[in-house]
Amino acid sequence: MSNERHPQKSKVVRYLVGVAIIMLVFAVGATIKNDDHDSLSIVDELTKYHTDPFNPDTDGDGLTDGDEVKLYTTSPTVIDSDSDGLTDGDEILKYKTNPSSPDTDGDGISDSEEIKTYRTNPNLRDSDGDGLLDGQEITTYMTDPLNPDTDKDGVPDSQEVEKGTDPHKTDTDNDGLTDREEILEFGTDPLSKDTDEDGLSDLEEVKTYKTSPLTSDTDGDGLSDPEELSFGTDPLNEDSDYDGLTDGEELSTYRTNPLISDSDNDGLDDGQEAISYRTNPLDPDTDDDYLSDGYEVQLGTDPLYDWRDTYNKEAFKAGLSQYFREKLRPVTQDFVKYHTTLDKAWAILEWIDENIEYYHTKADYVDALLYNWSELTPEQRELYNNLTRLYAPNDTIVYRKGICGDYAILTAAMLLDSGVSPVYLLDISFENSKVGHAAVAVKIEGDLFVLDQHLPPIPIGNYYWKWAIENNSKIIANMTFYEVRLNTRGEPEVTDTWTWSGEELRKKTYIPNEEDTRLIKETVKEKFLRMYPQYVEDSRLKSIVEQHTESLKYTGEPSNAYLPHGFSKGWVLWLSNEYIWLYYSPITIQKLVDYWIMPAFSSEGWAEVIRQCDRFYLLMDYVPITVSDGVTTITVPKILLVMEVAS
């Protein structure tokens, strides 16, 4: 029977034979050679290593016993010294692993498992170089040790482990962004769908709205990104409407519309109103003076100050603005047809004289305000301020009444809108009086004339005497002139300012002389003949007219003189006026004659006798009278007109 069928028995036999040989050697003192050529002596194999002296590879692992003992320190009698499932020969010759260590690379996976099961490299702790040991990948994280990115999301498994993401899922938090995008591209939290907790998913922020998923307020305007989306503002622009205010300021602080740069549509951006001008961006007219804030800025007036409170430059620029003048157009369009400043000024003053009455109650409020100011309560002061406030020119027309400041603003506005520029707003102060006066002046053929509520216009110097001898004998202390012109935009500008004292005004007084008397006579005669063309001047009547004139000058009654020979009937017509001199100027003589003298010729009494005759003679004379302002006395003419009509 062959021993091959009983290998264990064969080993025992060989062992016994070996022992017998050793005993024989020791008995005869002989030296026995290494019969199996494994570099180990028979004695060492039998006594020391217990290997088969007749088999160079006792354990059949592919390594000689000598190599195992001397070179690899493996067991020559055990085919797999480290019990890792790989023979020592395979480990050394084939896999280059350590046959004495079941886990050559110390990665937690035996060499045999790495080779046979996982196909990993038993000599590399991290076969795929992803930063995780093969053992960690296999036993702990269940990742692929041969793929550095198990889920192929662009993030190495080790980084996913570090970040806490799932290395088996490309999108751990299911927010629509891969872990790689979150970690490497956007810096978002791959474990949270909404990194900045603003109510928008990271995907929405990145892909849809282009907002930052790392901050709830991308543009830093004080509104979260979802709030901006709900309001319709731009979450990428802190100032959606480019008005100078952040969207957050508009909604939280100013309550303005962040989508409209000018919330109140007054011509100013909300930022200009809130920051530059301190006006109310929700009120187009912050000071409630009829003019929008934007228009006031354009005019150069203060949008925080009601121009009607004070008669000054502010009032002139505002009250004479195009905005108000356009409201006067239904009236002023009738004055544009006149060609001269005198005609326009006369027509305007005539319209005002006929349509606007003096508001005495308001004037009384002004007096009470000025003289009792220190005694008034704050509430009373506010009441008086409201009652005495200037009227806008269109309001004066609507109310059909006003006081001097209202008249002045209205008159100047009408003049400017009729094409008269410049105009001069007058601010007049009186001696020993807290109450002043306001009027308007224009230049006619180079001379200044004052327009003050009633016809006719008055030469600037004579205006001093108007106050001195009328209106309770007030003496002008100073008169300040504000020259107002329209600019290229049609808006008023105060282009010059100066002040004349009462004395300077008085020096400009114009007193009619004999030549002026002659001019008046010739003007009256010319107009009379146009009115009654059938008349002829007859010098035969001169004597009787001279007698009437002398009698009137000294007695106030015409003479009893008889008509000269050749006339069957006649009448003496006469009138005198002590104030014509006050308004007289050679420039306005035609208008003055029409206004004061010619109406008498068409009056019922005069017209009746004039129609019965066809001859006339006219004489113009004057009676010297004196007027005084309390300091200075002047002599002026009281004009006397005497006419004889006869037939």
Task: List, in order of start, the domains of the chain with CATH numbers.
Answer: 217-277 (no CATH), 302-506 (3.10.620), 514-646 (3.40.33)
Confidence band, pLDDT 50/70/90 cuts, at residue 2: very low
CA distance 592 to 600: 13
Asked if 580 contacts 639 with a C-beta cutoff of 8 angstroms, the reply is yes
Percent of the chain past pLDDT 70, that is, above it, reads 93
pLDDT digits (tens, 9 = 90+) for 322-331: 999 999 999 9
E strand map for 371-466:
401-402, 423-430, 437-444, 447-452, 454-459
pLDDT on residue 4: 45
Report the pLDDT averaged over residues 579-594. Answer: 96
Confidence band, pLDDT 50/70/90 cuts, at residue 8: low
CA distance 273 to 279: 5
Is the confidence at residue 121, as pLDDT, over 60? yes
pLDDT on residue 10: 58
C-alpha distances (whole Å) from 41 to each of 55, 66, 378, 498 are: 12, 9, 131, 139
Asked if 630 contacts 473 with a C-beta cutoff of 8 angstroms, the reply is yes
Least confident of 19-23, 435-439, 582-586: 19-23
3-state secondary structure of 479: strand
Q: In this structure, what token pair is assigned to residue 480? A: 């300040």
CA distance 344 to 302: 32
Confidence band, pLDDT 50/70/90 cuts, at residue 3: very low
* Better-predicted residue by pLDDT, 65 or 295: 295
Confidence band, pLDDT 50/70/90 cuts, at residue 534: very high
Asked if 528 contacts 575 with a C-beta cutoff of 8 angstroms, the reply is no
pLDDT on residue 73: 86
Asked if 220 contacts 239 with a C-beta cutoff of 8 angstroms, the reply is no
Q: In this structure, what token pair is assigned to residue 180? A: 């790689």
Confidence band, pLDDT 50/70/90 cuts, at residue 30: very low
Mean pLDDT, the chain, whole residue set: 91
Pure H helices in 71-114: 88-89, 111-112
pLDDT on residue 373: 67
pLDDT on residue 14: 62
Is the confidence at residue 383, as pLDDT, over 70? yes
What DSSP string describes 161-215? Answer: HHHT--TT-S-TT-SSS-HHIIIIII---TT-SSTT-SSS-HHIIIIII---TT-
Is the confidence at residue 380, as pLDDT, over 80? no
pTM as predicted: 0.76
Asked if 390 contacts 406 with a C-beta cutoff of 8 angstroms, the reply is yes
Report the pLDDT averaged over residues 471-480. Answer: 89
C-alpha triplet 267, 269, 273: angle, nearest 5°: 95
3-state secondary structure of 570: strand
Q: Which amino acid does the sequence have at 107?
A: D
End-to-end CA distance of the chain: 196
CA distance 216 to 220: 9
| DSSP element (H, E) containing 226 | helix 225-231
C-alpha triplet 215, 218, 220: angle, nearest 5°: 105
442: left (phi over 0), alpha (psi -120 to 50) or beta: beta
3-state secondary structure of 434: coil
pLDDT on residue 23: 62
Most confident of 93-107, 120-134, 409-423: 409-423
pLDDT on residue 479: 98
pLDDT digits (tens, 9 = 90+) for 502-528: 999 999 999 999 999 999 999 999 999
pLDDT on residue 18: 59
Handedness of CA 192, 196, 198, 201 (dihedral sign): negative
pLDDT on residue 565: 94
Beta bridge partners of residue 623, listed in sequence order: 638
pLDDT on residue 470: 84
pLDDT on residue 385: 73
Give the number of other Cβ atoms within 10 Å of residue 300's Cβ: 14
pLDDT on residue 1: 42
Is the confidence at residue 24, as pLDDT, over 60? no
pLDDT digits (tens, 9 = 90+) for 246-262: 999 999 999 999 999 99
Is the confidence at residue 17, as pLDDT, over 80? no
